[in-house]
């Protein structure tokens, strides 16, 4: 048998060549992975449209290639990619957990900067393309870092003491910064953790909490409110039966603001304020037009209390704040002031910044009482940018969150600029398109604070701006400026234009005040002595208004705000200047009854409706049982008897042969017969305050009756 000679040199050469080839393949795959590990932007070309997609490839901790895909228009953020396969510049990857087995098969170009191929899902195939792009978060951070000078100059020019800013990109806050002072007097700096009032941006917390209850089947947005609150009543009976929770939170109830009913009113409970709605004037039909209304949001908050069995504050904390880790966020400026980092409220008046008192909004909490920080508010924005999901927890069904952002009521106003589309109202949010980009937002303005929460759902950006200046436009202007830069839009000098217009607006306001003063009729005087105007006036919806006379000066108090009055003309008096300017230049016009007595006062508290008429209440002693006891007794005129008795807190009158009458207190220490209001009773007092008789005032005359002395019982 012949022996076979083995060529070891040949085997060694083949082995080396194999290893070199394997090394080249591994090296090629590694190079390809390195090329892919970046941020990519592109689209799937669907019929009639391009579906924007964002893809991020990166290496895991164990050096494996992994990826995420986002589809902004579908609000799909960071979906996990699986089955990533690389081979000779060809790449295949699938989207995890999506029906229809969505798979991308593409190829890199020679530069390694572009990728194109076919996307397949549910048996349908469409072209796709991707281009390597800068990391959006890193790019955004660079842009934001260069804004400090712009922001500080804007604050100086627009007279804003302090400002806190948060910017969110998808699932993270990428910028948190405080500017200026939270406390001017003590020179304390504003920080991302400073507590400030967010005002009406609170409304979206109320709707989010209600939406969570709807997810649980406890409420339907389109069921009548009376299904949940049977006693609920409005002044229009048809609207009462039809109005729904969705109507309450979209400002389409038909009811105008009536804000001064609740403003600074710390005494009325939420239920009492809701019951007062039955006495307020409508100015439109249900769903006819947009009319901003805080009282409707109060009602929505009260509905949350009824459905949850908890106070609104407790329900919102449990349903919203705690899941979002918003532990310092609170519902009262009193609580804020117990914190180590909170902002003082300021007002710009007469060309200077003034500190003003905090305003309590406890009973109107559902419409505007939340205080928070930009750090914690960034979590609030994140849950909205991520389809109701925060971290690993789905707080609200995606469809329910989308519903909160849908336009339900057009505002019906022409936009101030062509850069913005007509605005509508969703459920606790304003919605429009800013320079072609979908925008969801809500401002907040309350005494000493201005705020804005805004986000661009399809672009994945969100913003929170909180300031400690009353009525400032800077939050809106700043967000528009930042948005232009982040989206690479042609810049517009929003802040500069506002600064230019600021002085003009102040001058126009001054001239408008001078023109109003010119409408005053000269040379008139009140029809009564000033003391006659004093008293307590009442409206069933607006409650109590008191007019006081002291040291020759009239003043009035409403919702704990006292304002001095000066004679304007005839029986109209004007609210004078004081520390709280709420009723400065408010005109009170007094009315007399047929007997010449001051009987009512009208006040223009709701500019879109009729003046509110407060009727003067009788002297308080006419409701005092101790005083009413003095009036009880027997009164006679000839053979006519008139017996007055006290039953509880009510006087009654009995005339033989007639039914029992109830005496109702009226002005001028008079009473009228409830069953016959045309007949009035006036009691006569002697020099020592004793009751000596009464007069019955009837259409055919006034008849005086003497009070009989108390008789001793007969002794037998």
Which SS3 state, helix, strand or coil, does residue 253 take?
Answer: coil
pLDDT at 12 over 70: no
Is a pLDDT exceeding 80 seen at residue 137? yes
Secondary structure element (H or E) that encloses residue 209, with its range = helix 203-215
Same-domain check for residues 173 and 304: yes
Yes or no: say if 154 and 478 are a contact pair by the CB < 8 Å rule: yes
Q: What is the DSSP string of 656-706?
A: TTS--EEEEEETTTEEEETTEEEEEEEEEE-TTS-EEEEEEEETTEEEEEE
Mean pLDDT across 509-534 = 84
Question: Alpha carbon of 321 to those of 207, 224, 341, 443, 444: distances in Å?
Answer: 13, 28, 19, 19, 18
| Same domain for 549 and 435 | no
| 23 inside domain | no
Q: 601 and 684 share a domain? A: no
Let me know if 528 is exposed, middle or buried by CB neighbors in 10 A (0-12, 13-18, 19+).
middle
Of residues 24 and 445, the one with the higher pLDDT is 445
Beta bridge partners of 703: 696
Q: Does the residue 225 lie in any domain?
A: yes
pLDDT band, residue 63 (cuts 50/70/90): confident
Are both 597 and 669 inside the same structural domain?
no
List the structure tokens of 316. Answer: 């919102």
Looking at the structure, do residues 259 and 313 belong to the same domain, yes or no?
A: yes
Instruction: Check whether residue 685 and residue 565 sit in a common domain.
Output: no
Average pLDDT over residues 287-299: 98
The mean pLDDT of 450-468, rounded to a whole number, is 97
Q: Give the end of a domain, one of 580, 595, 616.
A: 616
Give the phi and the psi of residue 217 in degrees, each rounded to 5: 80, 15
Q: Domain span at residue 275?
A: 151-487
Q: Residue 494 in contact with residue 482, Cβ under 8 Å?
A: no
Check pLDDT > 50 for residue 716: no
Residue 87 pLDDT exceeds 60: yes
pLDDT on residue 568: 96
Range with the poorest average pLDDT among 56-70, 203-217, 377-391, 425-439: 56-70
Span 523-530, mean pLDDT?
96
The span from the CA of 716 to the CA of 561, in Å, is 65
Asked whether the beta carbons of 61 and 54 are under 8 A apart, the reply is no
Judged by DSSP in three states, 564 sits in strand
Measured between alpha carbons, how far is 376 from 329 in angstroms, rounded to an integer?
7
pLDDT in tens, 545-573: 999 999 999 999 999 999 999 999 999 99
pLDDT at 519 (0 to 100): 82
CA-CA distance, 418 to 115, in Å (whole number)? 37
Instruction: State the Cα–Cα distance between residues 51 and 73, nearest whole angstrom.
Output: 8
Across-strand partners of 456? Answer: 461
The reply to whether 390 falls in a domain is yes
Half-sphere exposure of 443 (CA within 13 A, CB side): 16
Q: What is the pLDDT of residues 225-239, one digit of tens each?
A: 999 999 999 999 999
- pLDDT score, position 711: 54
pLDDT, tens digit, 9 for 90 and up, residues 243-252: 999 999 999 9
Confidence class for position 513, pLDDT limits 50, 70, 90 = low
Q: Does the pLDDT of residue 7 top 60, yes or no? A: no
Domain assignment of residue 46, yes or no: yes
In a domain, 683, yes or no: yes
Statement to judge: residues 607 and 632 lie in one domain: no
Q: How far apart are CA 306 and CA 303, in angstroms?
A: 5
| Alpha-carbon span 165 to 154, nearest angstrom | 14
First to last CA, the chain: 166
The predicted-structure confidence for 664-674, as pLDDT tens digits, reads as follows 999 988 999 99
pLDDT band at 31 (very low <50, low <70, confident <90, very high): low
Give the pLDDT score at 554.
98
Residues 605 and 641 in one domain: no
Per-residue pLDDT band at 578 (split at 50, 70, 90): confident
pLDDT classification of 715: cutoffs 50, 70, 90: very low
Pairing of strands 661-666, 650-654: antiparallel
What is the average pLDDT across 511-515? 68
Residue 586 CA to residue 573 CA, distance in Å, equals 8
In a domain, 386, yes or no: yes
Residues in the chain: 716
Nearest residue to 374 (alpha-carbon basis) of 204, 187, 178: 178
| DSSP codes of every residue in 330-342 | BS-HHHHTTSSSB
Burial 551-577 (b: 16+ CB within 10 A, else e): eeebbbebbebebbbeebbebbbbbbe
Model confidence pLDDT, tens digit, residues 111-125 = 889 999 999 999 999
Return d(Cα 518, Cα 538) in angstroms, integer: 31
Q: Let me know whether 652 and 547 are in one domain.
A: no
Largest CA distance in the chain: 166
Q: Which H/E stretch holds residue 86?
A: strand 76-87
| Angstrom distance (rounded) from CA 558 to CA 607 | 17
The CA distance from 216 to 218, in Å, is 6
> Using CA of residue 471, residue 476, residue 477, residue 478, what is the dihedral sign?
positive
How many domains does the chain contain in total? 4
| Residue 393 burial class via C-beta count within 10 angstroms: exposed 0-12, middle 13-18, buried 19 and up | exposed
Q: What stretch of H or E contains 59?
A: strand 49-59
Contact between 280 and 235 (Cβ < 8 Å): yes
* Residue whose pair of structure tokens reads 């205080």 in the numeric block: 371
Q: What is the CATH number of the domain that holds 606?
A: 2.40.128.50
Last residue within a domain, chosen from 465, 487, 509? 487
What six digits make up the tokens of 225?
């409110």
Share of the chain above pLDDT 70, in %: 93
Q: Do 590 and 695 share a structural domain?
A: no
Give me the CATH number covering residue 420: 3.40.710.10
pLDDT of residue 17: 36
Average pLDDT of the residues in 122-136: 94
In a domain, 505, yes or no: no
Asked if residue 598 and residue 640 are part of one domain, the reply reads no
Paired tokens of 407: 């336009």
Tokens of 574: 């004007």
What pLDDT, on a 0 to 100 scale, did the predictor assign at position 594?
87
Whole-angstrom distance, CA of residue 362 vs CA of residue 370: 10
- Which pLDDT score is estimated for 382? 98
Cβ pair 598, 532 in contact under 8 A: yes
CATH number at residue 95: 2.40.128.20
Q: Specify whether the CB–CB gap between 694 and 700 falls below 8 A.
A: no
**Pairing mode of beta strands 598-603, 612-616:** antiparallel
More confident residue, 613 or 360: 613
Burial class (CB in 10 A: 0-12, 13-18, 19+), 609: middle
- Give yes or no: residues 157 and 68 share one domain: no
Confidence class for position 429, pLDDT limits 50, 70, 90:
very high
* Mean model confidence pLDDT for the chain: 92
d(CA 191, CA 214) in angstroms, rounded, equals 37
Distance CA(509)–CA(397), nearest Å, equals 48
Structure tokens at 420: 């913005």
Tell which of 616, 640, 660 closes a domain: 616
Number of alpha carbons in the 13 Å side-chain half-sphere of residue 280 = 31
591-641 confidence digits (pLDDT tens):
999 889 999 999 999 999 999 999 999 998 999 999 999 999 999 998 889
**Residue 14 within a domain:** no
């Amino acid at each position: 048998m012949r022996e076979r000679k083995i060529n070891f040199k040949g085997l060694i050469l083949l082995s080396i060549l194999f290893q070199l080839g394997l090394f080249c393949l591994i090296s090629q795959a590694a190079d390809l992975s390195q090329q892919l590990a970046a941020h990519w932007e592109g689209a799937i070309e669907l019929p009639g449209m391009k579906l924007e997609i964002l893809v991020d490839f990166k290496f895991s901790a164990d050096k494996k290639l992994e990826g995420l895909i986002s589809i902004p228009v579908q609000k799909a953020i960071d979906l996990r990619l699986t089955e990533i396969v690389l081979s000779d510049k060809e790449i295949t990857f699938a989207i995890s957990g999506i029906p229809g087995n969505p798979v991308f098969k593409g190829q890199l170009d020679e530069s390694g900067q572009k990728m194109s191929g076919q996307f397949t899902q549910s048996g349908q195939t469409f072209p796709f393309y991707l281009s390597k792009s800068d990391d959006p978060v890193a790019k955004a951070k660079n842009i934001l870092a260069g804004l400090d000078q712009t922001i500080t100059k804007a604050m100086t020019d627009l007279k804003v003491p302090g400002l806190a800013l948060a910017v969110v990109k998808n699932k993270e806050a990428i910028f948190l910064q405080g500017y200026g002072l939270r406390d001017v007097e003590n020179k304390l700096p504003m920080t991302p953790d400073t507590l400030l009032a967010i005002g009406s941006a609170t409304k979206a917390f109320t709707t989010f909490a209600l939406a969570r209850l709807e997810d649980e089947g406890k409420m339907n947005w389109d069921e009548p409110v009376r299904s949940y609150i049977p006693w609920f009543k409005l002044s229009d009976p048809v609207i009462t039966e039809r109005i729904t929770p969705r109507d309450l939170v979209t400002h389409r109830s038909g009811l105008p603001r009536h804000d001064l009913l609740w403003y600074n009113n710390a005494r009325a409970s939420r239920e009492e304020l809701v019951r007062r709605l039955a006495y307020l004037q409508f100015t439109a039909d249900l769903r006819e037009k947009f009319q901003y209304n805080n009282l409707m949001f109060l009602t929505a908050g009260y509905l949350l209390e009824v459905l949850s069995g908890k106070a609104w504050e407790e329900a919102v904390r449990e349903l919203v704040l705690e899941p979002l880790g918003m532990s310092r966020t609170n519902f009262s400026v009193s609580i804020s002031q117990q914190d180590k980092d909170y902002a003082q409220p300021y007002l710009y008046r007469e060309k200077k910044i003034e500190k003003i008192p905090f305003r309590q909004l406890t009973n109107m909490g559902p419409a505007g009482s939340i205080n928070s920080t930009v750090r914690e508010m960034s979590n609030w924005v994140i849950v909205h940018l991520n389809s109701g999901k925060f971290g690993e927890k789905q707080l609200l069904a995606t469809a329910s969150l989308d519903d909160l952002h849908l336009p339900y009521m057009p505002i019906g106003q022409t936009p101030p600029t062509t850069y913005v589309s007509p605005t509508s109202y969703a459920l606790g949010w304003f919605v429009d398109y800013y320079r072609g980009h979908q925008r969801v937002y809500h401002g907040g303005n309350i005494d000493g604070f201005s705020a804005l929460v805004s986000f661009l759902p399809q672009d994945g950006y969100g913003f929170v701006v909180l300031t400690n200046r009353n009525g400032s436009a800077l939050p809106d202007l700043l967000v528009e400026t930042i948005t232009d830069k982040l989206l690479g839009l042609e810049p517009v000098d929003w802040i500069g234009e506002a600064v230019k217009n600021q002085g003009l607006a102040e001058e126009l306001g001054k001239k408008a005040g001078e023109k109003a003063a010119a409408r005053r009729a000269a040379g008139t005087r009140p029809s009564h002595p000033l003391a006659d105007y004093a008293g307590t006036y009442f409206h069933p919806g607006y409650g109590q208004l008191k007019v006081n006379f002291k040291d020759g000066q009239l003043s009035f108090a409403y919702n704990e705000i006292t304002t001095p009055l000066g004679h304007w003309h005839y029986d109209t008096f004007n609210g004078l200047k004081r520390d709280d300017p709420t009723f400065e230049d408010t005109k009170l016009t007094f009315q007399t009854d047929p007997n010449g007595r001051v009987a009512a006062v009208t006040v223009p508290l709701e500019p879109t409706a009729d003046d509110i008429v407060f009727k003067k209440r009788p002297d308080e002693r006419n409701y005092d049982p101790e005083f009413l006891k003095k009036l009880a007794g027997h009164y006679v005129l000839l053979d006519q008897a008139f017996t007055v008795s006290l039953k509880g807190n009510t006087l009654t009158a009995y005339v033989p042969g007639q039914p029992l009458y109830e005496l109702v207190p009226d002005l001028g220490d008079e009473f009228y017969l409830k069953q016959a209001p045309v007949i009035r009773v006036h009691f006569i007092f002697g020099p020592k305050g004793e009751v000596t008789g009464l007069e019955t005032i009837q259409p055919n005359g006034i008849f005086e009756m003497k009070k009989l002395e108390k008789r001793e019982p007969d002794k037998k």
